[in-house]
Structure 1
Amino acid sequence: MEFPSKELWTAIGTVIAATVAAGVTFLTATLSKDAKISDFRLAWMDTVRAEIAEISSRCLHIQASSKRLRAQGTAEPQIHIEFAEDMLSIKRNIAMLRMRLDPNKHQSVIYLLTKVDNKEWSERTLQTGSTDLLTEFQEEGRILLFTEWQRVKKGEGAYRIFRPLSKYMFLFLLIALGIMATVAISEVISLWN
């Protein structure tokens, strides 16, 4: 049996090496892009968490402080003036959070965000039930963040595809290497005989 020439084996080896290098480069670039997307998702989650916490804490602060001011005999117009800056901050945070949310995916959070936005947190008549609204808003936010965290843990699309495929690619390369080694060893043995 006559084996192909050394030059042919060299050419085949070069083509295989170039193909493997191109595949590794493509895989690395794709996974790097997906890792960057995951980083952006984590940053988005941190920002959403901070916005929800800021809105909730300011609402609770206004609610508790206005109750205290009323007990001290402060007039209602003065209470509204007292918390104008806080109310503006809440409106700003709500607007920022609204822009971060997808109206198709985050409808429950947007619905509660609208309810929080429409509430006058310093009003006397709204003292009851307001804490429940904030608790519900925080819980929906927690669910949203947990869902996104699960998505980040699974990885982006290319990662979910390439991870199992990489095992098969590695196995294929080992088999190919084994075949090439077997052919090379049999050639060396035939030369000894």
Structure 2
Amino acid sequence: MNEVTIAIIAYGAISAAVIAGFFSFLNLISSKENAVSDSRQKWINEFRAEISRLTAAIHELVRIEEHSKTLSEKEYIEVARETYKDARESLTNIQLRLNPEHVERRPQSMEAKLWNAISKSRTDFANGDLSATVVDCDKIREEAAPLLKKEWERVKRGELTFRVVKVTALVLLIVGIAFVVLGADQLIQIP
């Protein structure tokens, strides 16, 4: 074998190894970022379900409260027990999904606005203002929507690491192709 053939074989082997390593790295990053996006999607679905469950429980509690005058205390407790449990559980799940720093220190954040709407419904219910409590459910859904949309947009866009790696991969691919083309051109010119 002459020097040109050996150089071409070596060049091809090195190029193949670099390309394989590069795509292995991309696959690793992509897999990790897909797992994060799947977790975010699960969070969105569960959060949406908790908002639905909470507002349904509030509506049911209002309905029970409207008919409470016809019930004994024991009957009221029995009828309302499960609905109160559902409301408390949903409330806790929602609260645990919200960023407490945003709720407490950023009054204009989506999380703070949602929590304020939930708190208002609790206050209105406790004060016996049932019609306001029903209206509050609309406000809860209204305040949850932008938060859900923001998370959905984040899932569609992909995680920051994924976006950076994607752009880097494209640049490296273009540079790699240029390198292969220029390197092959140089190999062809070897006497």
Q: Is the 8 A contact 1:103 1:110 kept in 2?
A: no
Q: TM-score under structure 2 normalisation?
A: 0.80
Aligned to 2:48: 49
Query: Matches of 1:162 and 1:174 in 2, distance apart?
Result: 18
Query: Matches of 1:119 and 1:100 in 2, distance apart?
Result: 23
Gaps of 5+ in 2: 103-110
Q: Deviation at 1:74?
A: 3.4
Aligned to 2:92: 95
Q: Is the 8 A contact 1:91 1:117 kept in 2?
A: no
Aligned to 1:147: 150
Aligned to 1:40: 39
Q: Deviation at 1:60?
A: 0.6
Gaps of 5+ in 1: none
Query: Matches of 1:170 and 1:80 in 2, distance apart?
Result: 67
Query: Matches of 1:151 and 1:50 in 2, distance apart?
Result: 19
Aligned to 1:176: 179
Larger radius of gyration: 1
Aligned to 2:163: 160
Query: Matches of 2:162 and 2:82 in 1, distance apart?
Result: 46
Q: TM-score under structure 1 normalisation?
A: 0.80
Q: Is the 8 A contact 2:7 2:187 kept in 1?
A: no
Q: Is the 8 A contact 2:15 2:180 kept in 1?
A: no
Percent identity of paired positions between Structure 1 and Structure 2: 20
Specify whether residues 38 and 165 from structure 1 end up closer, same or farther in structure 2 by C-alpha distance, changes over 3 A only.
Answer: same
Q: Is the 8 A contact 2:57 2:87 kept in 1?
A: yes
Query: Matches of 1:152 and 1:164 in 2, distance apart?
Result: 17
Q: Which has the higher helix share?
A: 2
Superposition CA RMSD, Å = 2.6
AA partner of residue 114 (structure 1): S
Aligned to 1:83: 80
